[in-house]
Amino acid sequence: MTIDSSKLYKKRLYGWLSYAFASEVFVIVSLTLFLPICLEQFARDNGFLLPSRTERCTAAIGSDPTPAEPTGRCVVKIGWLWIDTASFSLYVYSLSVALQALTVISMGGIADHPPHRKILLLTFALFGALSATTFLILPSSSPVWFLSALLASIANVGFGASVVAMNSYLPSLAKDAPEVVQIMNEIQDSADDAQEHISENPDAPLIAPTAERTALRARYDTELSRATSRISSLGIAMGYGAGICLLIIALIPVTKLHGSTFSLRLAIGLSGIWWAVFTFPAALWLPGGSTAASEEGAAWQEDAGKWSAWREIVAAWKRLGGMLHPREIKRLRNTFKYLAAWFLLSDGFTTITSTAVLFGKTVLNMQPSSLILIGVLTPFSGILGSLLWPMLQRRFGWSNLRVIIILVILASVIPAYGCLGFLIRGNNLRFGGLTTPGEMFGLALYFGSIYGAFQSYARAFYAELLPPGEEARWYGLFSITDKSSSFIGPLVVGLISDATGNIRYAFFFLVFMIWAAVPVLMSVNVETGRKDAREYVYK
């Protein structure tokens, strides 16, 4: 790798990492913590207590800071329907997930077009950051307070769509890593030597050069896999670090203003401003336009005159149907096996997070300040985990798939530990089985160290099973598989809680969901999957 190409690679890498640093803040600060609470508070500030629906929720609750029993459920009128204020937040999230899935499907072909990938990323980043920032000027007392649902949906769509475009850069970044380029140069030199050997000795056997190239190809695949996971892990670590920084900053006004609606809006608005400001380095350093096209191949140059966004959107929907055809699934069976496991695991990990917070609040009676502290500890340990696991991988020579399986098994310990609470309670013990608030802090650190690494390795391993040149389209399917399953776990946990009156029973379901993915993961043949992906041509 020349000095110029090395500088160009570092510039692209820093641009990619800067967007991870910018966008992950929205997830940690807003999407998983303040946004659901803020939406519920918007509805509550405009809601009424059942059964009369004449008494304001905020006035009734505000008159007694710690009422022994609420006088009724809080509902808000949306159009002609009365809905629970807590359900308002859930419905908005479901709507945003649906819109995100539709957008991701439509944009897959555009994001795979190098000249337009950067434009797509920046456009969705702008809409997402602007929507989050607009919460600063929309009070819950406004007659159009319900626009908060639209702003939340646009922000979530902007994040999801821009991250798909960001992920589509990952395979090319890994291929351009210096250690990967060095091995590729050795492969090319070996091929040149073999060609020269054939020219000089037409009747000579080809066994030795072929064996050498096979060994070099194996080294290349291994180093490419490690480079992908390393870059992905670094992006997760930087994103988590940014989220922690802003979360600590946002906690100051939230604490001083006692969790008022304005303080929640301020936290969301700050995440939007952070998102916008730190996207500028990505805008400067990521390749775009003719630069991206020249770097990633001349094939796009040939189609430049025929390319159109509308045609790509229509083709993307047709392509999705084709990708899910049994014939295509058979051709890329290992890629789809992994997607099936990801369907279970993404939902399982997400549901562990939401269930643990609800469990801490309703069963362990933890204070909001304690739950927010858990929100800080989890991404903090996620940084350590995303950096530690690549070191362990290099130390023991594990593959990406081996690391993922180990992480999944370790994650299943958390709900299994919660199940032990039935035995602890039955024996009147004061500690163990997630029966005390102190255990929640320990599990937050443990889970964060696993979840941060899992996210980076899940994305990196998937990159190994993708057809070259179609990364955004397949990462779109990756995102759709994630989002389409995200409602199942919370729904089942809610049903279990309603049926039993004890959310602890949900831990049994979570153990089952996570362990169900393990045999599917173990059935993935990495070498065959890579080979099938390289040879794959959509018919």
3-state DSSP assignment of residue 125: helix
- Report residue 470: phi and psi, to 5°: -125, 30
Can you tell me the distance from the alpha carbon of 320 to that of 113, in angstroms, rounded to the nearest whole number? 17
Q: What is the 3-state secondary structure (H, E, C) of 220-242?
A: HHHHHHHHHHHHHHHHHHHHHHH
Does 1-177+239-314 match 324-539 in CATH topology? yes
Q: Is 361 exposed, middle or buried (0-12, 13-18, 19+ CB in 10 A)?
A: middle
**pLDDT score at 208:** 46
Are 288 and 119 in contact by the 8 Å Cβ rule? The answer is: yes
Establish how many alpha carbons lie within 13 A of residue 147's alpha carbon, considering only the half-sphere containing its beta carbon: 13
**pLDDT score at 15:** 93
pLDDT above 60 (res 305):
no
Residue keyed to tokens 């910018």: 22
Strand 74-78, strand 48-49: pairing: antiparallel
Fold of 324-539: Growth Hormone; Chain: A; (1.20.1250)
Confidence of residue 102 (pLDDT cuts 50, 70, 90): confident
Tens digit of each residue's pLDDT (9 = 90 or more) over 345-373: 887 887 787 777 667 766 777 766 676 77
Enter the tokens of residue 524.
């993935």
- CATH architecture, domain 1-177+239-314: Up-down Bundle (1.20)
Can you tell me the distance from the alpha carbon of 401 to that of 362, in angstroms, rounded to the nearest whole number? 37
3-state DSSP assignment of residue 78: strand
Are 286 and 87 in contact by the 8 Å Cβ rule? The answer is: no
Spell out the domain ranges in the chain.
Answer: 1-177+239-314, 324-539
Can you tell me the distance from the alpha carbon of 525 to that of 401, in angstroms, rounded to the nearest whole number? 10
Look at 66-80, 94-108, 149-163, 442-456 and tell me which has the smallest mean pLDDT: 66-80
Can you tell me the distance from the alpha carbon of 111 to that of 538, in angstroms, rounded to the nearest whole number? 17
Can you tell me the distance from the alpha carbon of 52 to that of 46, in angstroms, rounded to the nearest whole number? 15
Q: pTM for this structure?
A: 0.72
pLDDT above 90 (res 268):
yes
Can you tell me the distance from the alpha carbon of 40 to that of 90, in angstroms, rounded to the nearest whole number? 9
3-state DSSP assignment of residue 335: helix
Nearest to 13 by CA among 231, 290, 278: 231
Considering only residues 186 and 441, tell me which one the structure prediction assigns the higher pLDDT.
441
Tens digit of each residue's pLDDT (9 = 90 or more) over 473-511: 677 677 767 665 566 776 677 677 656 767 788 888 889
> Residue 384: how many CB atoms within 10 A of its CB?
16
Q: What is the dihedral of CA 444, 449, 452, 454, to 10 degrees?
A: -110
**pLDDT score at 228:** 81
Are 513 and 351 in contact by the 8 Å Cβ rule? The answer is: yes
Tens digit of each residue's pLDDT (9 = 90 or more) over 232-255: 878 888 888 898 888 888 888 877
**pLDDT score at 274:** 96
Q: For all residues of the chain together, what is the average pLDDT? A: 79
